[in-house]
Amino acid sequence: MPATALRQRLAELRGPSVAPLPLDARALAALAANPGCKRRALLDGAGVNKAALATALGSPSGFGQSQFAFMRGNAFEARVKADGGTELMRLLYERMGAGAGPGCEPPVAGETHVPDLAAAGPEGRAARTALALREATAAGMWTLLDHPMLALEVAGSPAYLEPDAVVVRPDGHWSVVEIKSFPMIDESADAAKVGAAARQAAVYVLALERVAAKVAGARVGHAVLLVCPKDFSNLPAASVVDVRKQRSVTRRQLERLTRIEDLAAALPEGTTFDVDRPAEELAAAVEAVEAAYAPECLAACELAFHCRAKARAVGAVGALGRSVRGELGGLTTIGEVLAAAEGTAGDPADPTVAALRRAAALRTEALRAAAPTGAEALAGARAGAGVRC
């Protein structure tokens, strides 16, 4: 499908008067975390506002950051970057300086170059960022880019991404810095939150690599610096996170997103996610695209309550968790699983079916062993009713 036709089709999906919601790193990272969900891939690729769609479907999203957490995060980030990024550069050199090339002296407090990245619009800011990266690499000096703007082509249109910071080393090495407000206790933080931050940072790494490809001597690091409050205090602590795996997964997902036209083409004629349409019509449109609900969606997608209700209604095993879904192989509903366990359906040669039957037999045996004998049950019932023999 030509790019213009695809853009027109995606505009029809959003609704004629609805501006596309720009994709950000969080959305791209969430896509990478649930690669099987065609529904999210299509809605994000078309720029549909999923929070508005969830509300129109009658399942408003409980997803998002509270205003308090948002303000706390901003205050922490400002503290980390204060005084021209002195503390941030100290942490970065302390954690990542060992890999610096020859002649790469530690940054001197107050002497880090912090270029002005202001420009009109996201395209202008992305161009200004690319120029600042090129100049910093050529100058061979420690440079801190505070909230640079990076562009990444997704499904035929640019997504604009804004990392917390990018540091350029004198040896031409570029590092992504992520500043988060969740605590790092005894040098370790919540694994799920670190994983989400790593997926987000991997998106920035991919976008930076596209800029670096056009800059002589530039190298993008696949290790990112994660800065968090230390032990519930307001002091910063940092650790290095290797995002190579997340980068590969995200890159595959982005390649898949470029085939969004196939997802759009498979929809019935006239399908739209325009939130001004009746809820029943919207529900039918959403159901027309295959989803892959898992409990992890609750922390990552605005449509989670809607998809959870639908998954539960059909007894989808995915609603029990990805690991359970993986264990059950080709059995996709709870009804199929129970039938396989009871021996009324399923191929006994299938190892999953055999394991379920064995588990059901063990359960029956255990229940029989634990059940009271007839005399014990009668005595128990009489005791409960206050009857004396």
Which spans of this chain sit near ligand SF4 (rule: CB under 6 A)? 34, 37, 39-40, 291-293, 297, 301, 303-304, 307
* HEC assignment per residue over the chain: CCHHHHHHHHHHHHCCCCCCCCCCHHHHHHHHHCCCCHHHHHHHHCCCCHHHHHHHCCCCCCCCCCHHHHHHHHHHHHHHCHHHHHHHHHHHHHHHHHHCCCCCCCCCCCCCECCCCCCCHHHHHHHHHHHHHHHHHHHCCCEEEECCCEEEEECCEEEEECCCEEEECCCCEEEEEEECCCCEECCECCHHHHHHHHHHHHHHHHHHHHHHCCCCCCEECCEEEEEEEECCCCCEEEEEEECHHHHHHHHHHHHHHCCHHHHHHCCCCCCCCCCCCCHHHHHHHHHCCCCCCCHHHHHCCCCHHHHHHHHHHCCEHHHHCHHHHHHCCCCCEHHHHHHHHHCCCCCCCCHHHHHHHHHHHHHHHHHHHHCCCHHHHHHHHHHHHCCCC
**Shortest Cβ distance from residue 293 to ligand SF4 (Å)?**
4
The nearer residue to ligand SF4, 32 or 218, going by C-beta atoms, is: 32
Query: Which three-class secondary structure state does DSSP give residue 368?
Result: helix
